[in-house]
Amino acid sequence: MTSGIHDGHRERTKRRFLKSGLDAFEPHNVLELMLFYAIPKRDTNELAHRLIETFGSFDKVLEADVEQLAKVKGMGEHSATLLKLFLASYGYYEREKSKEGFIATSSNEVVNYVKSLYVGEKNEIVYLLCLDVKLKLINCVKISDGSVNSASVSVRRVVEAATANGAVAVILAHNHPNGFATPSAEDIMTTKRILKALYPIDIQLSDHIVVGTNGAVSMADAGVIYNMKQELNYQ
């Protein structure tokens, strides 16, 4: 009898989503629906509430580690993996959608693409966007993957990635997983080192995007790249 009640509720919830999307859903309803596909024969409403109580909000649930999720009563590695898959799939979708014919003609477009690289990411990662003469994306290369606080940037690795992809211009990107997007003194020093390494081989450093918990900052828009070029007497 209980199974029949759950089956009816699941079917109604699924039909509601297919008809109207998620706009009218509460956060716990969305998690409940997700968990239908990991836990086929048990009420997931209580578990959805428990997850939000444990982590504080819907977004924090999806950003939690698999190990943390699996420890919640009623969860397990299978259910935790499914929840992580939703967030990872969203980031993958955004990247695939953005890179199709992506041309770095404005900082807004670049920032939107770069932000998609860091969806749900807790470690500091450095990417290099390699562009052709028309500023079309050739390749997006992961330069380094660090700890929660830092990722070392190898200037040699940046130069190798840029030349291997035949880039005419590049955009550097990295994130501050637990901080604001404001470039640090170290970020600025690293940018200058890379600018100096690329200039002699005729590869333009167009921008350095920093992504933080409060958004993203373009060093080009902030005038940092321009000031560096003026200081170094680069045209």
Does residue 122 belong to any structural domain of this protein?
Answer: yes
Does residue 97 belong to any structural domain of this protein?
Answer: no
- Assign residue 102 a region (left: φ > 0; alpha: ψ between -120 and 50; beta: otherwise): beta
CB 184 within 8 A of CB 151: no
156 with 119, same domain?
yes
CB 133 within 8 A of CB 166: no
CB 234 within 8 A of CB 195: yes
pLDDT given at position 1 = 41
Read off the CATH number of the domain in which 48 is found.
Answer: 1.10.150.20
Read off the CATH number of the domain in which 163 is found.
Answer: 3.40.140.10
* 41 vs 220: CA distance, rounded Å: 54
138 closest CA partner among 166, 157, 108: 166
53 with 130, same domain?
no
113 with 208, same domain?
yes
Number of domains comprising the chain = 2
pTM of the model: 0.75
pLDDT given at position 99 = 66
Does residue 57 belong to any structural domain of this protein?
Answer: yes
Does residue 140 belong to any structural domain of this protein?
Answer: yes
pLDDT given at position 104 = 86
134 with 39, same domain?
no
214 with 107, same domain?
yes
Domain edge (last residue) among 70, 92, 114 = 92
Does residue 164 belong to any structural domain of this protein?
Answer: yes
Burial of 121 (0-12, 13-18, 19+ CB in 10 A): middle
Neighbours of 135 (CB within 10 A): 19
Residues in the chain: 235
47 with 73, same domain?
yes
Burial of 134 (0-12, 13-18, 19+ CB in 10 A): exposed
Q: Where are the extended beta strands (E) located within 118-165?
A: 125-131, 137-145
Residues 6+ apart with CB under 8 A from 31: 44, 47, 48, 51, 52, 58, 61, 83
Containing domain of residue 26, as a range? Answer: 2-92
Does residue 10 belong to any structural domain of this protein?
Answer: yes
7 closest CA partner among 31, 41, 32: 41
148 closest CA partner among 116, 186, 177: 177
Domain edge (last residue) among 92, 114, 137 = 92
CB 127 within 8 A of CB 92: no
pLDDT by 10-residue block (mean), the chain, 235 residues: 64 90 92 92 91 94 92 93 90 75 84 87 90 92 72 86 97 90 91 94 95 91 94 85
pLDDT given at position 194 = 95
Does residue 98 belong to any structural domain of this protein?
Answer: no
CB 181 within 8 A of CB 217: yes
* 52 vs 69: CA distance, rounded Å: 11
Per residue, what are the HEC states of 42-57?
CCCHHHHHHHHHHHCC
63 with 38, same domain?
yes
126 with 152, same domain?
yes
88 with 107, same domain?
no
224 closest CA partner among 107, 103, 105: 107
* 87 vs 59: CA distance, rounded Å: 9
75 with 138, same domain?
no
88 with 147, same domain?
no
